[in-house]
């Protein structure tokens, strides 16, 4: 094993990390959970290969913690030399939750192949069921049930009540005006979808996409629609985080095409920051395309936004979801950021690390966890328009699935909607209003 090999921490560290990460499930006293007779496995070698999941049939008293009476866990956490009905007794639940929450198989993949930068299609041979549910949260619910089964209501009361679920609306402000780079990028998406529809024999859809690409390229719509956006959220009673880009460095061709193009220090943008804060929202930083492993650049962009807003900036999401398990959170942590919501796939919605949870990520091959906290993002607007075009009802059903799963497991997660997609050029405002309504309907106690 090489000096840089990713080494799993020992059983004691794994259990301590998960007890802390899942503290919202035993907020008053974790000791009854810590005392459960969980069989902890000592792996003879480091984790390798794509993620494979095993179906664990739950005992009758815990069936409602799973899906169809089962939980899915990584195969490394299970001693499969037992009957299906008994596997739950021979599952290392701490290890299972740790491997999923910390994206351990993705970390191994990254070490061998390089960062996937949030594109799921680059993970070949993966068990994609991992992304369909918040399995880590469901494991926590199962452990609570196990405490109740072993020690009764008194022990359950001792560990404390479940926290309320929440879905947080976020916005990455990638554009405040319609620039040439954005025209080129969105036309590219429309032309790609037109070609895909044509290859499937969907001539009408292909023609519609082609028309949309032409209209988008030549249209002159004003994209400054923040007054309407702020009103939508005020009417819904929702507080959001607005992530802004800020960079004074000269741009090369790649950054000209891929980074936003506005000046956060200009009077109009500074006034917008003040307006957003006045409405009770939070300002975050949206570091540029090439900053995903550069703490000094992230910090510099954060300081620019703080100066323009006259308020602290502690939240973050990387532009284009550029992300490395090894480098990005460490860079953000070194830039003194407190909460990141980058963890999501660019090309599909879902639970990238099988969780809806705010936690402090583990520092592999080091002691302890980062000071930075991470919160996964469930979906963004383009998942339902660019990557997988849907009808209005299909889109509502898809968004409801992810939001409902977060609610059902008492989880916490974010969703992302880009402000410029509320324009007529995009026509995605109906989806945004649906998302606001679904958050309100599915989280009545929020």
Per-residue pLDDT tens over the stretch 326-350: 999 999 999 999 999 999 999 999 9
Give tens-digit pLDDT for 352-365.
999 999 999 999 98
User: How many whole angstroms separate alpha carbon 280 and alpha carbon 389?
Assistant: 33
- Decide if pLDDT at 2 tops 90: no
Q: Determine how many CB atoms are found less than 10 A away from the CB of residue 197.
A: 19
Its pTM stands at: 0.93
- pLDDT computed for residue 45 by the predictor: 64
- pLDDT computed for residue 243 by the predictor: 98
Give tens-digit pLDDT for 247-288.
988 889 899 889 999 999 999 999 999 999 999 999 999 999
The enclosing H or E element of 186 equals helix 180-199
Q: Determine how many CB atoms are found less than 10 A away from the CB of residue 237.
A: 10
Which of the four pLDDT bands, split at 50, 70 and 90, describes residue 444? very low
- Decide if pLDDT at 231 tops 60: yes
- pLDDT computed for residue 291 by the predictor: 98
- Decide if pLDDT at 294 tops 70: yes
Which of the four pLDDT bands, split at 50, 70 and 90, describes residue 1? very low
- Using left for φ > 0, alpha for ψ between -120 and 50, and beta otherwise, residue 336 falls in left
| pLDDT greater at residue 442 or residue 25 | 25
Handedness of CA 318, 324, 330, 334 (dihedral sign): negative
Among 338, 332, 277, which residue's Cα sits nearest to residue 310?
Answer: 277
350 within 8 A of 328, measured Cβ to Cβ: no
- Decide if pLDDT at 106 tops 70: yes
- pLDDT computed for residue 154 by the predictor: 92
- Decide if pLDDT at 157 tops 60: yes
- pLDDT computed for residue 44 by the predictor: 61
- Decide if pLDDT at 318 tops 80: yes
Mean pLDDT value across residues 213-217 = 77
Average pLDDT score, the chain: 93
- Decide if pLDDT at 300 tops 70: yes
Which of the four pLDDT bands, split at 50, 70 and 90, describes residue 445? very low
User: How many whole angstroms separate alpha carbon 250 and alpha carbon 231?
Assistant: 35
User: How many whole angstroms separate alpha carbon 136 and alpha carbon 353?
Assistant: 8
Give tens-digit pLDDT for 92-105.
999 999 999 999 99
Lowest mean pLDDT among 22-26, 41-45, 58-62, 289-293: 41-45
Which of the four pLDDT bands, split at 50, 70 and 90, describes residue 177? very high
- Decide if pLDDT at 76 tops 50: yes
């Amino acid at each position: 094993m090489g000096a840089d090999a990713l080494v799993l921490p020992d059983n004691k560290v794994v259990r301590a990390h998960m007890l802390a990460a899942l503290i919202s499930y035993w907020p008053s006293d974790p000791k009854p959970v810590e005392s459960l007779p969980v069989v902890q496995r000592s792996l003879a070698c480091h984790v390798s290969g794509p993620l494979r999941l095993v179906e664990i049939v739950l005992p009758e008293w815990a069936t409602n913690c799973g899906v169809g009476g089962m939980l899915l866990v990584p195969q490394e956490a299970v001693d499969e030399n037992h009957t299906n009905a008994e596997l739950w007794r021979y599952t290392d639940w701490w290890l299972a939750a740790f491997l999923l929450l910390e994206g351990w198989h993705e970390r191994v993949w990254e070490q061998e192949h390089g960062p996937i930068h949030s594109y799921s299609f680059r993970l070949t041979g993966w068990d994609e069921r991992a992304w369909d549910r918040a399995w880590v949260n469901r494991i926590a619910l199962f452990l609570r049930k196990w405490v109740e089964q072993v020690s009764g209501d008194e022990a359950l009361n001792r560990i404390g009540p479940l926290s309320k679920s929440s879905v947080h609306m976020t916005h990455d402000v990638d554009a405040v005006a319609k620039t040439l780079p954005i025209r080129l990028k969105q036309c590219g998406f429309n032309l790609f979808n037109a070609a895909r529809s044509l290859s499937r024999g969907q001539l009408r859809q292909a023609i519609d996409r082609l028309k949309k690409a032409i209209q988008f390229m030549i249209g002159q719509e004003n994209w400054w629609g923040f007054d309407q956006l702020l009103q939508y959220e005020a009417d819904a009673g929702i507080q959001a985080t607005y992530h802004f880009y800020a960079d004074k460095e000269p741009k090369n061709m790649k950054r000209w095409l891929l980074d936003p193009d506005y000046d956060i220090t200009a009077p109009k943008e500074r006034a917008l920051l003040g307006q957003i804060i006045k409405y009770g929202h939070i300002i975050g930083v949206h570091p540029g395309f090439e900053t995903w492993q550069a703490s000094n650049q992230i910090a510099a962009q954060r300081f620019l936004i703080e100066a323009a807003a006259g308020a602290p900036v502690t939240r973050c999401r990387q532009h284009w979801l550029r992300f490395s398990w090894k480098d990005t959170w460490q860079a953000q942590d070194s830039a003194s950021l407190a909460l990141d919501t980058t963890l999501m796939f660019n090309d599909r919605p879902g639970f990238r690390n099988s969780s809806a949870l705010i936690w402090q990520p583990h520092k592999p091959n080091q002691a302890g966890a980062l000071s930075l906290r991470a919160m996964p993002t469930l979906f963004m607007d383009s998942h339902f328009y660019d990557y997988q075009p849907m009808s209005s009802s299909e889109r509502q059903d898809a968004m409801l699935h992810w939001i409902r799963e977060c609610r059902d497991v008492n989880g916490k997660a974010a969703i992302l909607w880009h402000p410029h997609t509320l324009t007529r050029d995009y026509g995605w405002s109906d989806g945004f209003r649906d998302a606001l309504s679904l958050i309100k309907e599915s989280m009545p106690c929020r």
